[in-house]
């Protein structure tokens, strides 16, 4: 008997016998408020199709499943709801910019597999891509770098651009129509060379800072001792809040070296005044100040896991784990906090398939064995950083099918997952990606042999190494 070939695999499927040709006109839809917000029941019978959902969003998910059933499908009753409430992808449009049109294609693909978050990485060392009406210098001075030097992607000319408020709203609306929340990221206090280029007075030394042209972790970060730092951050956040209605705003917090803060009289004075024992604690204080600001506006913060290093970070934040040797994110979740899993070794889709084969991504269990309550893991997110990706075709090759595997982990319960079956189903699902305008990596590239893995990984790292010419 023909089975259903849906991604993500629904959690409960009952075959009713026989098959039917689906008539899209013969569809009845009901919203039932006793069901969960993302839960739907889809019944396909000879006399028609019924979708019952806990909300309009759930009905939308029922429709996504229906779309993948094809024209002729077995009679089935599908009872389905997600394993995790947060199912996201992250797009870096700083290192390289991706157009609104291409971004919409990613959103279409995400919606088709029931993802519900787009994390938009908009500020970093290599550019500031948000139009800020309150601080236009951040945009106009911070959005153009002199050149680009990302290994083999070396370009001598200026590179820049930013998203207008209208463009960002267009993405917010496009996502909302697909029940996806856009979470913008304004990364502070590190990864802020572009902002410091516009406002050198916000650095500890007060000296000019260049917008960076290559990948790295840079010593100049926002000064925590100067009050103007917070004036500028709050102004930019105020602009962000007007554009993005999401409950959560991502405020970064990753890879912030403490060298400047150690040497800065203003930062040292701040530590003394606030009774902070070291510079890590100063970052905790810095984060909490922004968290308070967001709270006053009815919003909450997401932070990368380094923000937990101080041990004083407000419990209301959600931590996004990416590289966390000490498992502070797990401790945080076990101690009343909430985490999102974006594990570097499994979910970073900018690394080659040789390093992160599809089945490694697929089989990863985002609930660490030391997590006491699965509910403290809000869910999963697949990031794609774009230092080494400068066109949409390459982006799609790296992202698909791995992002789709993360979507299935976000939706389908561990016990219902099957890597071989996922790979079979993905070949069928690829038709939808084709309709959207996305070309995934080919099956022979998904899981390279051990030898090929070594070769591809070495090739990737030699490709990103700095070239002399
Ligand atoms: C990160 O990859 N620096 C979050
Ligand atoms: Zn300072």
Q: What is the rounded average pLDDT for all residues in the chain?
A: 96
State the closest ligand 1 atom to the C-alpha of 383, by its place in the atom list counted from 1.
2
State the closest ligand 1 atom to the C-alpha of 342, by its place in the atom list counted from 1.
4
Which residue puts its alpha carbon closest to atom 2 of ligand 1?
Answer: 322
In the block, residue with structure tokens 């009872």: 79
State the closest ligand 1 atom to the C-alpha of 322, by its place in the atom list counted from 1.
4
Confidence of residue 1 (pLDDT cuts 50, 70, 90): low
Q: What is the pTM of this model?
A: 0.97
Substitution candidate for ligand 1 out of 119, 122, 323, 350 with most atoms within 8 A of CB: 323
| HEC assignment per residue over 223-243 | CCCCHHHHHHHHHHHHHHHHH
Calculate the alpha carbon distances from 158 to 17, 66, 115, 429 in Å.
Answer: 62, 47, 35, 39
Query: How many residues in the chain?
Result: 469
Looking at the CA of 262, which ligand is closest?
2
pLDDT at 466: 54
Q: Residues 195-202: what's their mean pLDDT?
A: 98
Note whether 249 and 302 are within 8 A (CB): yes
pLDDT at 28: 97
Q: Residues 5-18: what's their mean pLDDT?
A: 97
Q: Residues 171-188: what's their mean pLDDT?
A: 99
**Cis amide bond preceding 330, omega within 30:** no
Which residue puts its alpha carbon closest to atom 1 of ligand 1?
Answer: 254
Note whether 124 and 90 are within 8 A (CB): no
Dihedral Cα 415, 420, 424, 430, nearest 10 deg = 80
Ligand 1 shell residues, CB under 6 Å: 254-255, 304, 322
Looking at the CA of 383, which ligand is closest?
1
Strand ranges for 305-388 from DSSP E = 318-321, 338-341, 377-384
Q: Residues 462-466: what's their mean pLDDT?
A: 71
State the closest ligand 1 atom to the C-alpha of 255, by its place in the atom list counted from 1.
3
Substitution candidate for ligand 1 out of 124, 256, 304 with most atoms within 8 A of CB: 304
**Cis amide bond preceding 189, omega within 30:** yes
């Amino acid at each position: 008997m023909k089975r259903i070939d849906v991604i993500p695999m629904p959690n409960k499927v009952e075959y009713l016998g026989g098959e039917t040709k689906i008539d899209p006109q013969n569809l009845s839809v009901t919203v039932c408020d006793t069901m969960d917000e993302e839960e739907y029941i889809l019944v396909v019978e000879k006399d028609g199709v019924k979708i019952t959902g806990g909300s309009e969003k759930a009905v939308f998910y029922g429709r996504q499943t229906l779309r993948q059933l094809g024209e002729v499908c077995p009679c089935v009753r599908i009872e389905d709801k997600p394993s995790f409430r947060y199912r996201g992808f992250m797009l870096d449009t700083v290192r390289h910019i991706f157009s609104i049109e291409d971004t919409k294609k990613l959103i279409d693909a995400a919606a088709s597999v029931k993802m519900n978050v787009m994390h938009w990485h908009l500020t970093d060392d290599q550019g500031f891509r948000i139009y800020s009406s309150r601080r236009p210098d951040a945009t106009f001075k911070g959005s153009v770098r002199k050149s680009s030097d990302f290994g083999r992607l070396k370009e001598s000319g200026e590179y820049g651009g930013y998203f207008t408020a209208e463009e960002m709203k267009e993405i917010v609306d496009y996502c909302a129509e697909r029940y996806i929340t856009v979470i913008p990221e304004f990364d502070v206090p590190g990864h802020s060379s572009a902002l410091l280029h516009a406002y050198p007075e916000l650095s500890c030394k007060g000296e000019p800072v260049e917008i960076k042209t290559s990948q790295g972790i840079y010593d100049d970060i926002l000064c925590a001792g100067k009050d103007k730092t917070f004036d500028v951050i709050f102004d930019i956040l105020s602009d962000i809040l007007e554009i993005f209605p999401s409950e959560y705003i991502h405020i970064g917090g990753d890879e912030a070296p403490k060298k400047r803060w150690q040497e800065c009289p203003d930062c040292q004075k701040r530590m003394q005044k606030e009774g902070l024992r070291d510079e890590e604690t100063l970052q905790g204080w810095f984060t909490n100040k922004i968290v308070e600001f967001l709270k006053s506006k009815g919003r909450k913060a997401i932070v990368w896991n380094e923000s937990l290093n101080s041990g004083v970070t407000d419990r209301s934040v959600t931590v996004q784990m990416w590289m966390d040797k000490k498992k502070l994110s797990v401790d945080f979740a076990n101690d009343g906090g909430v985490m999102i899993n974006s594990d570097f070794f499994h979910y970073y889709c900018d690394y080659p398939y040789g390093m992160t084969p599809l089945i490694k991504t697929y089989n990863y269990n985002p609930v660490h064995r030391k997590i006491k309550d699965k509910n403290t893991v809000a869910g999963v997110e697949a990031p794609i950083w774009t230092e080494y990706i400068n066109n949409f075709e390459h982006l799609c090759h790296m992202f698909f099918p791995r992002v789709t595997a993360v979507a299935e982990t976000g939706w389908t319960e561990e016990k219902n997952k099957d890597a071989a079956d996922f790979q079979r189903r993905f070949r069928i699902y690829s038709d939808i990606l084709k309709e959207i305008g996305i070309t995934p990596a080919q099956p022979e590239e998904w899981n390279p042999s051990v030898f090929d893995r070594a070769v591809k990984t070495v090739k990737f790292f030699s490709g990103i190494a700095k070239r002399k010419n």
